[in-house]
Amino acid sequence: MDLDITLTDAPIAEQISAPFPVGSYGAWLEFRGVVREEEAGRKIAALEYEAYPEMAVREMRRLVNDIAGRHPCLAVRVIHRIGLIPVGEAAVYAGVASRHRAEGFALLAEFMDRLKLDVPIWKRGSRGFEPVMAKVSVNVPAGAGRKPSPLSLDEARAKIQSCCQPLPAIRVPLVEAVGRVLREPVRATEDLPPFDCSTRDGYAVLADDPAEQHEVVGVIHAAGWQPRQLRSGEAVRVATGAPMPCGGLRVIMQEDAVLEGNYVRLNRTDSAINIRRRGDEVKAGQLLVPEHSKLDAGRLALLATAGLAYPLVSPRLRVVHLITGDEIVPPGQTPQPGQIRDSNSILIRGLLAGQVGELYQAHLPENFAAAWSQLPLNKIAVADLVLVSGGASVGERDFTRPLLERLGFHIQFNQVNLRPGRPLIFGTKGSQAAFGLPGNPLSHFVCFHFAVAMALARFNGDCPPVFQRGVLPDRFVSETCSRETLWPARLTLSAGRVILHPLNWGSSGDVTCFAQANALIRVPAGQANFAAGAEVEFLPAGAI
Amino acid sequence: MRVLFFAHLKDVTGQESVNIILPFPHDPGQLWERLLELYPALAAHQSKVRLSRNWEYATAETLFQNEDEVALIPPVSGG
């Protein structure tokens, strides 16, 4: 029987492919257990599940194998989701392929019954959703009636850093850990390599054996384990990586050996031992991967080598992105006079790619009442981060601030003394954060890198992005501005130096320059006049 | 021995896991005695909690040793 069991904190796919080989089964049954909007008589927005992952997977496997003994099926696939699951989404999926439907139904029904008795997975509380029904002012400019005092760039970043805390870590299978941040230091539990092993294909003999001819008394492959005490005049053929049969040996590479029947004549052309000692690479207890490391391919391979199948990592972030503005049309549509194509949806999707687990995007009309009735409240309730595009610059039709306030967010700041991106709004609600991003795309780009990226790093328990130093190749004079500027630039590496080429940038609405930008140069308020070769601060903003 | 707590038992003990050293292999009754010394509040839950040893439910015959991973499994509610 083909059996596949997965534990994941990602949403379960809407479509799951049937098993192979097609044609062998006559029934393919699928079941999804979905989170209902009522739990213990109370209306909820999401349920939180917790698992003992190693045991949950083993227990599900044991259950399926046990039941399949009585109801033989061809393939079974089970996916159980853990973490916060919004109402309407599946917590568990089970698919069963069988020759006929009867045994499939029987296995599925019994499995689900016993899952609820024996598999160590728990519903761990729920999350409700109560919007703040206080009277909110609609269509009133943000900060009206108050003297707005914009924060400086550094103050805004410090505010975000202090408001956003690392989310509770979670244990997931290695395959689910790709790209996440490790939340515990990982130490070696054993020596690596775990035994003395050959670094060559060749013949192992006693290190001080003076014999020229040796009897080949054994063969050890890479996965072999054949302890034996070698004597003078004896040799064991070993493959690269093969464990040594005993201590005190050296390996003569096969290029220096002549095999004659069951005997081998060895030319000792050098004194190389050709053995990697136990613990040569890693000693038990040694730190392998420090906490806060991003789990890239190499680190994941190291965790696998060390036997850590369920690392403690950051949860996959959930982001809701609300796009407002009656003037925008989809990219495939020809805009009418006064309309523009929506580039912010794909911009945000691209900026978040690989950094978040789930991105839910929705367009909202600018009419507040209509927008409110269309809000994906169950998604917002479980989102770690809510982004609202447009509607943040001070104008009559703006509604980001009232919207966030009615959702229960406390506005931490609503202006930053920065160009572009001045009308950035930042709010928090418990552990959740929200940003109102000024409508034009370049402001989105800049606000993402100096503000949203900071929140993402903090939630993930990652090191926050920091300003670095680079060099301007030519003289650079900016026009006078009373605000600090994050100036889009193209970063290149040349002879070990970071070179920053400032890009032409007319207004914050310029959409061509950020197609090349991968850095933001920090230009102080006033008129900046940098000489060629001057060192400046910059924030990375994309791949080099 | 590493002992893991799940679901509401994390709140009861105030911990996700604890390392304890056994002077000799313990059967379930002996292990419970040890755990209740450390966390008297577990007593109220003992009748409903199952023990696991190395990712399998323990039985009355199970012997727990220092190199084992043990978990306290309260009534489950998956699916």
Whether residue A271 is predicted with pLDDT greater than 90 in this model: the reply is: no
pLDDT in tens, A439-464: 888 999 999 999 999 999 999 999 88
pLDDT in tens, A296-316: 999 999 999 888 999 999 999
For chain A, percent helix, then strand, then coil, each to nearest 5? 20, 35, 45
Three-state SS at A138: coil
Run of H or E residues at A373: helix A368-373
Mean pLDDT over A69-85 rounds to 94
Whether residue A134 is predicted with pLDDT greater than 50 in this model: the reply is: no
CB contact under 8 A, A120 and B56: no
- Mean pLDDT (chain A) is 89
Contacts of B77 in chain A (CB under 8 A): 116, 121-123
State the pLDDT confidence band at A139, using cuts at 50, 70 and 90: very low
pLDDT in tens, A39-75: 878 888 889 999 999 999 999 999 999 999 999 999 9
- Based on the fold, state whether residues A300 and A251 are members of the same structural domain: no
- Based on the fold, state whether residues A270 and A299 are members of the same structural domain: no
- Based on the fold, state whether residues A212 and A113 are members of the same structural domain: no
Whether residue A277 is predicted with pLDDT greater than 70 in this model: the reply is: yes
Distance CA B61, CA B53 (A): 12
CA proximity to A80, closest of A103, A52, A40, A102: A52
Range of the domain at A344: 153-162+315-460
Is the peptide bond between A193 and the residue preceding it cis, with omega within 30 degrees of 0?
Answer: yes
- ipTM for this model: 0.97
CATH number of the structural domain spanning residue B63: 3.10.20.30
Q: Is A256 on the interface with B (CB under 8 A)?
A: no
Please report the sign of the dihedral spanned by the C-alpha atoms of residue A502, residue A505, residue A511, residue A512: negative
Last residue of a domain, one of A460, A483, A511: A460
Q: Which residue of A has its CA nearest to B56?
A: A55
Q: Please give the structure tokens belonging to residue A432.
A: 């959740």
Domain presence at residue A7: yes
- Based on the fold, state whether residues A54 and A157 are members of the same structural domain: no
How many structural domains is chain B composed of? 1
Q: Which residue of B has its CA nearest to A94?
A: B79
What was the pLDDT predicted at A142? 47
Domain presence at residue A299: yes
CB contact under 8 A, A115 and B74: no
Q: Which residue of A has its CA nearest to B75?
A: A117
Last residue of a domain, one of A413, A440, A460: A460
CATH number of the structural domain spanning residue A498: 2.40.340.10
- Which residues of chain B from 4 to 63 reach within 8 Å of chain A, CB to CB? 4, 6-7, 52, 55-57
pLDDT in tens, A384-404: 999 999 854 545 456 888 899
- Based on the fold, state whether residues A269 and A359 are members of the same structural domain: no
What was the pLDDT predicted at A115? 96
CA B72 to chain centroid: 4
- Chain B closest-CA separation from residue A95 CA (Å): 14
Measure Cα distances from A221 to A80, A214, A236, A339 in Å: 40, 19, 10, 70
User: How many C-alpha atoms does A477 have within 13 Å on its Cβ side?
Assistant: 0
- Based on the fold, state whether residues A50 and A114 are members of the same structural domain: yes
CA proximity to A96, closest of A80, A107, A86: A107
pLDDT in tens, A316-372: 999 999 998 888 888 999 988 888 888 999 999 999 998 898 999 999 888 888 888
How many structural domains is chain A composed of? 5
Q: Please give the structure tokens belonging to residue A210.
A: 């003076």
Contacts of B52 in chain A (CB under 8 A): 52, 55, 120
CATH number of the structural domain spanning residue A326: 3.40.980.10
CATH number of the structural domain spanning residue A231: 2.170.190.11
Domain presence at residue B79: no
What was the pLDDT predicted at A143? 46
